[in-house]
Amino acid sequence: MDADGLVALVSSYNPHSDTAKIAEAYAFGDEMHAGQVRQSGEPYFTHPVAVAELLARQKLDDATIITALLHDTVEDTKARFTDVSERFGEEVAYLVDGVTKLTNLQLSSTETKQAENFRKLFMAVSKDPRVLLVKLADRLHNMRTIKYQRPEKQAQKARETMDIYAPLAGRMGMQWMREELEDLSFKVLNPEARNSIIRRFIMLQRDSGDVIDSITGDIQKVLKKAQIKGEVFGRAKKPFSVWRKMQEKQKSFSRLADIYGFRVIVGSEADCYQVLGAIHARWAAVPGRFKDYISNPKANGYRSIHTTVAGRDGKQVEVQIRTRQMHEVAEAGVAAHWSYRDGVRAENPFAVDPAHWIRALSERLDETDHDEFLEHVKLEMYQDQVFCFTPKGDVIKLPRGATPIDYAYGIHTRIGDSCVGAKIDGLRVPLWTRLKNGQQVEIITAEGQRPQPTWLDIVVTGRAKSAIRRSLREEDRERFIKLGRELARVAFEHIGKKATDKALATAARTLGLAEAEDLLARLGSAELTARDVVGTLYPELAAAPQGEVVEESRAVVGLPEGQISTRAQCCQPVPGERIVGITYRGQGVIVHAIDCPVLVDFEEQPERWVDLRWHSGPHGAVHTVSMQVAISNDAGVLGRICTLIGEQKANISDLHFIDRKQDFYRLLIDVDLRDVEHLHMVQTALEADSDVAEITRVKNVDRKP
């Protein structure tokens, strides 16, 4: 599209547009990108023009169109922020800068970095959501032309689009864009599945004729009989939408219902309900498939009535019923706030405040950690909603699959923390019950109640998960601080340093934590490793040991040439402990700890003693150590003990009970470890648990070689 074509397109919906400024932006962008080409071989500027055209067809304002034309100039050309600001104004310059920052965010990078980049994304978008509109249009055009990219690049972009940009488009209410982004990504990620669905649609049409036309005609007859004026549109659902339903419901294509969707657009809200009644009078409604988003609109302003009926030949079809104004918001979503009609900004009563949905996503996120932030945002973007009522009749919106605990935290954190039970429509239900649309929920609370760890497996909302984790962290904080302090002491001593209060406070600040106790708590809860803490202050000392890992065959130094060694089971020595060898005919050298009681038997045989030491390098082999542990006889204690050992990167190779009492168990646990420091870390972790009464290392003097 040339400059005249773009100007004409914008003028068609906004006669008062500053066409001269749009033409100037077109010329400026063309000049800045001169000589640059896309992977397809086309001039690069065809891409910004295509993005601008996409947004113009959404009838957006001049600033957004100009931003689209210039969105790559600051990043990819000699143009600077000040150049754009001086020629096109601060509003456009800041929009271009916002798009540039979004482009530079690697949203598909590692989890921690991804979470931080999501924070930056929401900060940028919250200032002006038009930044995201331009970025989504940019991504859509790139996906439409993705075939020119390398296969590995296609896969990376398609996955990022499927995981991030498509849900964002849906969250903004731009459902058409979400569906196209998903389908374009599906075409790259699973072309065989997509082609198979397309083939099934072709076969279905060949076998049963044009289903869409016939059902559209049936609905039009219903409207005519009810004397309601309206338009009816039908379409087959996108291949990815069909594929997702097949996966979720574990059904084949032939058994899948509602693969066709129909839309009825009428003049008023009252007409919507009249159409609903007429359709239900003509066809049987499918139970559980009715949603009224007119009385309970979505956060992005979406309003419509959804119902599924058994139509012609028993085929299930979904029907959406809405007014023209509702339809405009359904098509444009949050973008409806900036759209024009007949030269003026459209006054659509259903268009939401653009910042509202941003606040809904990012509310209270400053209180969460990086991983919790990412989890919260993804949950909010992906999940559909259910609407439940409080006993007073207020509506609480929650993601699909939410439980009474999610509902309680949706009201207030204090209600969630003290929740002990729930009633749905007056009947007591378990806390893991999944809520449904229209239910009245009452939360039962008790003073002194605290969140339970098992709740994390029950709830689905990011807000509830974050609050539960925070409460559990505070409850265990003292125990974790004690364990963290011991782990820090060992780690610092290992490199010849001391874990002073000043050192810990400095490390905490470097890691972005408020105080040393926060660092120790995270260290004790395995959210940080000792190497992370030491590395902030002494990176050269904390670096991984140089050289290759010592194999088991070279673990012991000082063996006579040609001799092999075996580790004694009586004392189970590990690297880091002083050792000595005793020679046995036909068995080589048996390696004992220097304080092993068995050595007394060889005091009169000095010729059998061999002076040995462990290799100083990092040991790759594991060494089994037996520990006797006494734990409380309470539910969940044994599982937690096993988890604590696993968190220290140690493996349990054997476990059996040696004593069972009403109040405690005594266990013998064989743990595979690297060295004495590793052993000390495991013992410290277990000793810090309040349900561990005793822990001792077992050295079986009766197990002589």
Pairing of β 651-660 and β 623-632: unpaired
Q: Specify whether 75 is catalytic.
A: yes
Residue matched to tokens 């100009």: 66
Q: How far is CA 216 from CA 227, 331, 384, in A?
A: 16, 20, 27
Residue matched to tokens 């005091």: 603
Of 18, 24, 75, 532, the active-site residue reads: 75
Of 2, 24, 62, 76, the active-site residue reads: 76
d(CA 463, CA 379) in angstroms, rounded, equals: 10
Spatial contact of 504 and 460, defined as CB atoms under 8 Å apart: no
Pairing of β 260-266 and β 230-236: antiparallel
Spatial contact of 161 and 119, defined as CB atoms under 8 Å apart: no
d(CA 269, CA 289) in angstroms, rounded, equals: 20
Neighbouring residues of 613: CB distance < 8 A, sequence distance ≥ 6: 556, 557, 558, 578, 579
Q: How far is CA 397 from CA 296, 388, 439, in A?
A: 9, 7, 12
Provide the residue type at 519 as one letter: L
Spatial contact of 596 and 572, defined as CB atoms under 8 Å apart: no
Q: How far is CA 186 from CA 159, 237, 586, 658, in A?
A: 9, 14, 65, 56
Query: What region does 345 belong to: left with phi over 0, alpha with psi -120 to 50, or beta?
Result: beta
d(CA 463, CA 353) in angstroms, rounded, equals: 23
Vertex 468: Cα angle to 463 and 469 (nearest 5): 100
d(CA 429, CA 404) in angstroms, rounded, equals: 9
- The answer to whether the Cα torsion of 116, 117, 119, 120 is positive or negative is positive
Q: Alpha helix (H) ranges present in 161-209? A: 166-171, 175-189, 191-208
Residue matched to tokens 């965010």: 105
d(CA 156, CA 138) in angstroms, rounded, equals: 16
Mapping DSSP to helix (H, G, I), strand (E, B) and coil, where does residue 342 land?
coil
From edge to edge, which strands make up the β-sheet containing 588-593? 565-567, 588-593, 579-584, 609-611
d(CA 4, CA 673) in angstroms, rounded, equals: 73
> How many other CB atoms are there within 10 angstroms of residue 282's CB atom?
15
Relative orientation angle of helices 462-475 and 404-411, to the nearest 10 degrees = 80
Containing 260, the helix (H) or strand (E) segment is strand 260-266
Nearest to 122 by CA among 139, 105, 141, 138: 105
d(CA 463, CA 361) in angstroms, rounded, equals: 10
Residue 357, token pair as written in the block? 């949905």
From edge to edge, which strands make up the β-sheet containing 441-445? 427-429, 419-424, 441-445
Residues with a catalytic annotation lie at 75-76
